[in-house]
Amino acid sequence: MTANAYSGADANFLTLAEAAKIAGRSYSWARDCAVDGRLDARRFSSGGKIHVTVASLTNVIEDERQRQALQSPRRPRFKQRNHLRLAVDNT
């Protein structure tokens, strides 16, 4: 299915599976975004597939990129060194 298979006046639609693939995420991620309202989701027929707008998908992807850019960078893991351990028996 193409992005403009269900084109409205100013919106193009994708299925949740297509949206997840474009975002590089899982289907459940796309479904959760639709349930949370982050993706503008619609069902065109009773029991049919859920579709989301391309614009809302673009906004969610951009918001996540900005959020990741604002997070502090991860500290590099250093090689663990062997340490001398002292065991004391005070009996």
Top pLDDT among 1 and 85 is at 85
Q: What is the pLDDT of residues 29-77, one digit of tens each?
A: 999 999 999 999 999 888 889 999 999 999 999 999 998 888 767 666 6
What's the rounded Cα separation, in Å, for the pair 63 and 5?
Answer: 26
What pLDDT, on a 0 to 100 scale, did the predictor assign at position 70? 84
This prediction has a pTM of: 0.64
Q: What is the helix (H) or strand (E) element at residue 28, kind and residue range?
A: helix 27-36
